[in-house]
A and B are shown apart, each in its own frame.
Chain A
Amino acid sequence: MTDLLYSEVEEELRASVRSLLDDRVDLSRLEGPEPVDLKLWRTLAADLGFAGLPVPESAGGAGASWRETAVVMEELGRSLAPVPFLGTSVLATAALLGTEDPLLDALAAGRRTATLAVPLSATDPRWTVTAADGVLDGTITSVVDAGTADVLLVPTAAGLFAVEAADTVRTPVVSFDLSRPLTDVTLGSAPGRLVGDAGPLVARALTAGAALLASEQLGIAEWCLTTTVEYVKTRRQFARQVGSYQAIKHRLADLWVSVTQARAVARYAADCLATDDPDLPVAASLAQAFCSPVAMKAAEECVQLHGGIGFTWEHPAHLYLKRARSNAASFGSATRHRALLAALVDLPA
């Protein structure tokens, strides 16, 4: 049976990532001119070597697995660190793993960054860009981490192409999740280098995205639960701790149960991805269908149980709510994944 626990190595990895992020994440930069923290990214990616965890050492990576990547995703969810991990270390890396493409080595070493040029909401490969003789034209909306990427992996009917981001027109989008900037990308006859057949590579990247985003949702849910529990222990109303009221206790107990489930489900998805288990499609859709509602519920309870202060911009709860909600629409909503699951487990509509 799949191992759903965290190994000692994974716990050590978590400790080092958390200690870095505790020190360095500064969410006040999100409304500034440079919301993405590339300095923090360099430390995480290059200095600590976490950019290419699932990439074999022979290909310049850390030779770990997607299980460890999932632990990093949990910590990124917990901290909302504005770094391009999802685009480069999950989507682009998953697309390139196994292709022997030279770009993989640069990504794994943290020398360059890339992302997959699809709308963040995508669940399956679709083409809005055309390629003729290695020259690409078209527009892709709502691309994650494209604003800071060096290279864009652009799917077309003729294949997946690597395009230098500088050769494209990138228009920043006001994203609902302030901590995860999106970009509209227009290719006006940009030159591209063929990487491989787009269908399977994009599908693999999107499955990896779905499977691992569940770990980010888990991290968000855990932050929200922990923060709320701490708050209700200190906040007093009617001369009693708010956390002493049974209705609050029961809601937080139910939330803890849900988070406990989300942890098992997210671990299962990460393990299936790491071991290329035949159950991976089920595991990934299950993870998206289950963990997103939990993360949203946790963020909503965090806002509600902080009362007035939770509704303000000055408390970070709103950023977690926005991230959880946007994640719930990323790589397919829970509703869509339930429909996908129905087909996978033979429960037709």
Chain B
Amino acid sequence: MTQYLLNINPIAILVHAAIPLTIILVYALVAIWAERKVAGFIQDRLGPMRVGGWHGWAQSIADLLKLIQKEDIIPADSSRFLFKFAPFMMFAASYAAFAVIPFSSSYIGSNINIGVFYLLAVTSVLTLSIIMAGWASNNKWSLLGGMRSAAQLVSYEVPTIATVLTVIVVTGSLNLMTITEMQSGNDILGFLPNWLIFQNPFLLVAFVIFFISILAESHRVPFDLPESESELVAGYQTEYSGMRWAMFMLAEYADMLLLSLLGATLFFGGWNSPFGEFMSGPFWSFFWFMLKGLLLVFVMMWIRWTLPRYRVDQLMYICWSILIPLSFINLVLVALWEVIF
């Protein structure tokens, strides 16, 4: 252990830690602005237009500055330590998971051979932090939001893991870098890239289940029950204000990106270019990877501004009665397909 610690280069660690953080922060600023623009355009509005000139591009920066200045209110009878700690823990959980995401053909935070397993394990800390926030606020709406979210996240982890398993069955690896590398090339039907989603019809089903599950995991409509504003005011965030609330927001968007990037890695070839060797290389692979991830994020936004929300019992019904059996059946079918072909 001490030997291991002595071998660590602190600067390398800092650099490795800073790269995902920069990506998350820049992405969060852009995504919050983009979410408002998407909402605006879908609703025949314009969204933010004033701050910064062109289409209000500086709106989220202005919001951030405002949130920093805001008073940090802590409810009198709250459990102070947990209340203060919860937002940071939530962000830490999604941030830590970025360590194993292969951003580009030449960059991955930590190329460990249990990448997927690590990612799923670390993100389940999210549940804990949300319950913490909900309970510590000493607010009934927060508590309800926290309980809902605990139930929701724990349930939807099962179909997520089951669909990830299908990919692992096909690729035989837990390392995300390896999984991505296995998907390079354009061999299917002569022109389609070797992405897993094209390789196996049951993987398409797996992707649909995976996508529904990550919608639920990142609390997006139609599964945004923990913070459903028309029912629970703001759910577990009700008592938060200022930067602590901003941390929740940041963590939520980071979570969205994380799961979208995971989806892109598992099903859409990660950083592989859709045109084979054309436009590949470390920079372009980063570009393609982010593009795929952001497209999935856009679809999540698009769904959010289209659909109403499920009720809590229906949410559970969908998970336990439909998605979980379906995902396990699908797992078997994928395995059979792999054996036969």
A binds B: no
